[in-house]
Amino acid sequence: EPEVTQTPSHQVTQMGQEVILRCVPISNHLYFYWYRQILGQKVEFLVSFYNNEISEKSEIFDDQFSVERPDGSNFTLKIRSTKLEDSAMYFCASLAETNTGELFFGEGSRLTVL
């Protein structure tokens, strides 16, 4: 069965450092997403990406965040200068096409900022 893979599964970093979280979506999917879940809270939408550009972003997704799909395979989330409050689980998801509901999540990357 196809799956979304994320690396690393857990990353610990110092405040102010740059972090890149990587995702490999399902190969024929067209829409890609990042979600964030602070410990004990709900899963929140960060950004959606389609046709090599951001299609929607939430107010959480400020200038410290960026996404790209550099090689047509990986979909990355970069946090330029991490803050303590960036500590969370980050989930990547991909969708085959709209109006199918065929959305799949990766297993998540846990980021701990010290």
Binding site for other proteins (CB under 8 A): 31, 33, 35, 41-45, 48, 55-56, 89, 91, 93, 95, 98-99, 101-105, 107-108, 110
Cα–Cα distance measured from residue 35 to residue 47, given in angstroms and rounded to the nearest whole number: 7
Instruction: Identify which of residues 18 and 56 has a Cβ nearer to other proteins in the complex.
Output: 56
Please state the closest distance from residue 81 (CB atom) to other proteins, in A.
25
Cα–Cα distance measured from residue 42 to residue 45, given in angstroms and rounded to the nearest whole number: 10
Binning the chain into helix, strand and coil, the percentages to the nearest 5 are: 5, 50, 45
Instruction: Identify which of residues 40 and 70 has a Cβ nearer to other proteins in the complex.
Output: 40
Please state the closest distance from residue 45 (CB atom) to other proteins, in A.
5
Please state the closest distance from residue 100 (CB atom) to other proteins, in A.
9
- Phi, psi torsion values for 51, nearest 5 degrees: 55, 40
- DSSP-assigned beta bridge partners for residue 66: 78
